[in-house]
Amino acid sequence: MTDPLAVSAHERGVTRVFALNLPKEQIATFVKETYGPGDDDYDWPLRNALGIDALDHDFVEVIDLSDLSEYGLLQYLIDGHGVDAKQIAPDAARLSAITGHVVIVSSSAFGQFAQTLAPKPPLDLVATYREAPPIPPMDALPSESAKGALETGETAQAPGSLNRGLLIVVVALAVVVLAVLWLVGGGS
């Protein structure tokens, strides 16, 4: 990835971090999308500050770093966004020094539209990171104990058929006992 501001239509697994340099009381207005009565009456200061036309709010996070005080932005990017720990490690001090709010924009936010970001104040690009590569699948380990053939032998009787036979004998015996009792009782 040569230009961190260039977004290709097929971009996947990229996370961009921007410092949001606004007073806390202005954040809510800056990140809010507003719709007017007409089709062209749409405004989103955050999208405008990124200098782009297409942005899906579902893949944009605005984070107050005081909420991550014990966890930290670096660990949040690794665990929450899958950023490669080896790639982000050199930026640990810089990420720890950021205060206030950050905006985290994932590749999916651009809706598969090629765009070039042109951030302007109050946004400042901090860094662009890629997701950690997936762990390759492991091949089955060869084992001598897994090789060979099964020995053939007699097939054991299924437990269900033994129980069923016993049940038939008990029921038949009960019928015989009842018949004898009926004959003995009916003959008196």
Whether 67 maps to a domain, the answer reads yes
Q: According to the model, what pLDDT value does residue 121 have?
A: 95
Whole-number pLDDT of residue 50:
93
Tell whether 176 is covered by a domain. Answer: no
Which alpha helices (DSSP H) does 7-150 contain, by range? 24-31, 45-50, 73-81, 85-88, 92-97
Global pTM reads 0.68
| The two structure tokens encoding residue 176 | 């015989």
Q: What pLDDT, on a 0 to 100 scale, did the predictor assign at position 37?
A: 78
**Which residue carries 């029921």 as its tokens?**
171
Residue 12 lies in a domain: yes
For residue 137, tell me if it sits in a domain.
no
Residue 170 inside a domain? The answer is no
How far apart, in whole angstroms, are the C-alpha atoms of residue 130 and residue 14? 5
Overall number of domains in the chain: 1
pLDDT tens over the chain, length 188 residues: 468 888 988 889 999 999 999 999 999 999 998 887 776 767 889 999 999 988 899 999 999 999 988 889 999 999 999 999 999 999 999 999 999 999 999 999 998 889 999 999 999 999 999 988 777 777 766 666 666 666 776 766 666 666 777 888 888 999 998 888 888 876 55
pLDDT at position 147: 65
Decide if 60 is inside a domain: yes
Instruction: Output the pLDDT for position 145.
Output: 66
Would 19 be classed as within a structural domain? yes
Q: What is the pLDDT of residue 149?
A: 66
Residue 99 domain flag: yes
Q: Print the domain residue range for 115.
A: 6-130
Which residues pair with residue 15 across a beta bridge?
106, 129
3-state secondary structure of 153: coil
